[in-house]
Amino acid sequence: MEQIIATIRQIKPETEREAFLLKAIEMFVAYIEELETRLGLNSKNSSKPPSSDFMSPRAKKEQPSADQGDVSTENDGPPRKRGGQKGHAGHGRHLLPIEQVDRVEEHRPPTSCPCGGAVRIDDEPAHVVQVYELPPVKLEVIEHRTFGGVCEECGRKHFGDSPEPHAFGIFGPRLAALIVSLTTIFRLSRALAQAFLRDVFGFRVAISTISKLEYRITRTLEPAVSEIEKETRQGPVVYVDETGGRRGDELVWTWVLSCPARKAALFRFGKRRSRSAYEELLDFQSEHPPEDIPIHVTDRYAVYSCLPDARHQFCWAHLKREFRRYAEQAGDAGAVGRKLLHATNRLFTLWDARKNEHLDDTTWREAMKDVMQSLRFALQEGAGLPHTWRNRHESMAGFCSKLLMHFDSLWVFVDSPGVEPTNNEAERRLRPAVVHRKISYGTQSDRGDRFLENTYSIIETCKMHARSAFNFFQHTFEAFIRKEPSPSLFDQG
């Protein structure tokens, strides 16, 4: 395509009509090139999800480049089959001690043999199997009766001091925790949660009643979410990501702010994907002194460009996909793309060695200097290429020029402990909410958004603390009914 465009540009039109036609041909050639590029997009060279690769042919392993060596990151040898690999450590289940067994059933042989002889039964069982069974499930119905009385002297009325049994409508705290777990952790729609309650417990409830329960739960969880919000915004390093979805005819955005150092993850839903929405999420102004801004790990979305380079780490997983897309092109852009991809593969090899403590600080920094130099040279080469017709994707020249402008944002993780080179942390936190939206119809109102904000903030934060979200929901609801303070996710005990 580049040769065709170069040939067209060498033609000198004699009339205005010829000039117009040559310009049109050049634009059509560039458009065809864009369409061919789109056909080659997959989860490895773009932001498309892996699920979109399902019907695509398996990509062939990349061949080594004559000047750059092997740019592939795939393992050598044939592809592995799914499941446990030969020689891996087993994970068998061990028998529980007898004191943890609820019931023992003994199966003894007959006392006589068909031949007429007596059968001597061994003292020890020949085979022991422990079977886990669910006991009969039945909801417990609790009737709360509050009595009143009148003082015989002054006529003052008095009532029994009871908790708030109606705080969650007809649902007790454990059942309320189960329902919120079904519709969030286990990603059931309200209709499927309704069917579960009916089939398992014989309990019939309207979908509108479940919706009202979620509204009450949203308010009950606010103290815990406020605590999460405080922790995430005070962290030294935060991982931020956002994804779009539809709510009816509206486009809505799900934001996540994850802080592994504080073991907290905050979710927010909104109709904007703007800088103001981002600053509202983090509760900071970009005009603050750089030392007051936590280090951010994000993709290259323009909203994050307000951050100073010294406090902003670009996600190398995103960059690698973009480098791969350019590396698959022909011509000079493809050659530069392969150099960038080669340097990136070297970076991740060094990072793995660093994480596994195979490199000391001095060796790590010296090795990264070589990677930085190689990448800078490749970016400078790419920035010097001619700009192609502007289409859906950046030209190699524009792409490399932007990275050179923010070159320091590529290397914050090198000298900053606790900073990862990728934004995988935020993407992992965001994925359950994305899957939930796709398979359970998402939300239909602002009230539903607030419910998912609070519940997913707690669910992902509980994961980071290795705690059960179901148990936390239950304890929070019980404390609310008893008019006690909400339990904390950040207890130091």
The model's confidence at residue 196, banded by pLDDT at 50, 70 and 90, is very high
**pLDDT of 115-163, one tens digit each?**
989 989 988 998 999 999 988 888 989 888 888 999 988 989 988 876 6
d(CA 49, CA 96): 43
Specify the higher pLDDT residue, 379 or 331. Answer: 379
Q: Let me know: does 426 contact 239? Beta carbons within 8 Å.
A: yes
Q: Let me know: does 387 contact 397? Beta carbons within 8 Å.
A: yes
d(CA 22, CA 26): 6
Assess whether pLDDT exceeds 70 at residue 52: no
**pLDDT of 361-420, one tens digit each?**
899 999 999 999 999 999 999 998 876 544 444 578 888 999 999 999 999 999 998 899
The DSSP string of 381-444 is HHHTSPPPPP-SS--HHHHHHHHHHTGGGGSGGGSSTT--SS-HHHHHHHHHHHHHHHHS---S
- The average pLDDT across 223-242 equals 92
CA distance to 14, 49, 229, 254, 457, per residue, from 430 (Å): 58, 13, 16, 8, 10
Assess whether pLDDT exceeds 60 at residue 170: yes
Domain ranges for the chain: 2-38, 165-308+428-493, 316-422
* DSSP secondary structure letter of residue 301: -
* DSSP secondary structure letter of residue 269: E
Mean pLDDT of the chain: 84
